[in-house]
Amino acid sequence: MTRFAILSDIHGNALALEAVRKAVHASAPDHVAVAGDLVLNGPDPAGAIDVLREMEAAGAVIVSGNTDIAVADFDYAAAFPWMAEGVPDTFQAATEWAQDALGDDRVHWLRRLPAERRLRADDGTMVLICHASPGSQTAGFDQTLDPDVIVERVSRTDARVIACGHTHLPEVRDLGWKIIVNAGSVGYVFDGVASASWALIDIHDGVVTAEIRRTEYDVLAVANAISARGLPGDVYRAATVRTGKLVR
Tell me how far apart the alpha carbons of residues 200 and 94 are, in angstroms, rounded to a whole number: 31
Tell me how far apart the alpha carbons of residues 88 and 248 are, in angstroms, rounded to a whole number: 12
Question: HEC profile for the chain?
Answer: CEEEEEECCCCCCHHHHHHHHHHHHHCCCCEEEECCCCCCCCCCHHHHHHHHHHHHHCCCEECCCHHHHHHHHCCHHHHCCCCCCCCCHHHHHHHHHHHHHHHHHHHHHHHCCCCEEEEECCCCCEEEEECCECCECCCCCCCCCCHHHHHHHHCCCCCCEEEECCCCCCEEEECCCCEEEECCCCCCCCCCCCCEEEEEEEEECCEEEEEEEEECCCHHHHHHHHHHHCCCCHHHHHHHHHHCCCCC
CB atoms within 10 A of CB 163: 30
> Strands 171-174 and 179-182: what pairing?
antiparallel
Full-model pTM: 0.96
* Bridge partners, 162 (sequence order): 128, 180
How is the beta sheet containing 171-174 ordered, strand by strand?
A: 116-120, 126-130, 161-164, 179-182, 171-174
pLDDT in tens, the chain (248 residues): 999 999 999 999 999 999 999 999 999 999 999 999 999 999 999 999 999 999 999 999 999 999 999 999 999 999 999 998 889 999 999 999 999 999 999 999 999 999 999 999 999 999 999 999 999 999 999 999 999 999 999 999 999 999 999 999 999 999 999 999 999 999 999 999 999 999 999 999 999 999 999 999 999 999 999 999 999 999 999 999 999 999 98
- pLDDT value of residue 86: 87
* Bridge partners, 246 (sequence order): none
> Strands 2-7 and 31-34: what pairing?
parallel
- pLDDT value of residue 85: 85
Q: What single letter denotes the amino acid at residue 22?
A: K
Domains and CATH numbers, the chain: 2-243 (3.60.21.10)
Which residues, at least 6 apart from 144, have a Cβ–Cβ distance to it below 8 Å?
Answer: none
Which residues, at least 6 apart from 132, have a Cβ–Cβ distance to it below 8 Å?
Answer: 65, 66, 138, 139, 140, 141, 164, 165, 166
Contact 10, 17 (CB under 8 A): yes
Tell me how far apart the alpha carbons of residues 199 and 213 are, in angstroms, rounded to a whole number: 6
